[in-house]
A and B are shown apart, each in its own frame.
Chain A
Amino acid sequence: DGGITQSPKYLFRKEGQNVTLSCEQNLNHDAMYWYRQDPGQGLRLIYYSQIVNDFQKGDIAEGYSVSREKKESFPLTVTSAQKNPTAFYLCASSPDRGGTEAFFGQGTRLTVV
């Protein structure tokens, strides 16, 4: 079945450590996105990519980094520079550049301990 796979579902990190969240899609979509969701809040865009080897900052990119070396993969690294990293992270993809719906993964819940 086609879809978006995020892993792991739950992740614990010690303060000061970097951690990488995986996102893989087999939908052959060009665009991929990372969102952050905090309790009781909407989704905030971290980074997005419209094409391989290219990506742009979203609204809250500080303390995060991404790569897009392959069309199907868009990993997100939460660095130690991110002051408040505990959140629910959602990866999404869409077929083209806007105008169509996005498809979401099941999310990764990151907790800093």
Chain B
Amino acid sequence: GNSVTQMEGPVTLSEEAFLTINCTYTATGYPSLFWYVQYPGEGLQLLLKATKADDKGSNKGFEATYRKETTSFHLEKGSVQVSDSAVYFCALTKYNTDKLIFGTGTRLQVFP
């Protein structure tokens, strides 16, 4: 079946450090891939998405590239801020299916 695997956290970084959160997926065909962010006590917000191979999603300095050859969608940011501290979820869905499938989430903690 379809699944998403992401690196366990917490990821602890100093402000302005480079961020990578790994995400790999298992799916037949061509899923759409997403990164969501959850701030404390809140719901999830879409951060970025990619709908086909080699697409790069980007938003607020975050980027992720849909790599079909490695079935990966790693999240990166060149310089993190304290305000980026949150839980990040990788997810996939396929057209004409019924579910959005999430990874277990990775907590990011950024210190000044």
Contacts of B43 in A (CB 8 A): 4, 6, 90, 104-107
User: Interface residue count for B (Cβ, 8 Å)?
Assistant: 24
Contacts of B89 in A (CB 8 A): 42-43
Partner of A48, one of B34, B46, B99, B103: B99
- Interface of B, helix, strand, loop or mixed by DSSP: loop
- Min CB distance B39 to A, Å, is 10
Contacts of A99 in B (CB 8 A): 32, 51, 93-97
- Does B100 contact A102, Cβ atoms closer than 8 Å? yes
Q: Which residue, of B32, B43, B105, has the highest number of chain A Cβ atoms within 10 A?
A: B43
Contacts of B44 in A (CB 8 A): 43, 90, 92, 102, 104
23 residue pairs of the A-B complex, CB under 8 angstroms, read: A6-B43, A41-B104, A42-B89, A42-B104, A43-B89, A43-B102, A48-B98, A50-B98, A58-B99, A92-B44, A97-B97, A98-B97, A98-B98, A98-B100, A100-B32, A100-B93, A101-B46, A102-B46, A102-B100, A103-B46, A104-B43, A104-B45, A106-B42
List 17 extra interface pairs beyond A94-B100, A102-B44, CB under 8 A: A4-B43, A6-B43, A31-B98, A41-B104, A41-B105, A42-B89, A42-B102, A48-B98, A50-B98, A97-B96, A98-B97, A98-B99, A101-B32, A101-B46, A104-B36, A106-B42, A107-B43
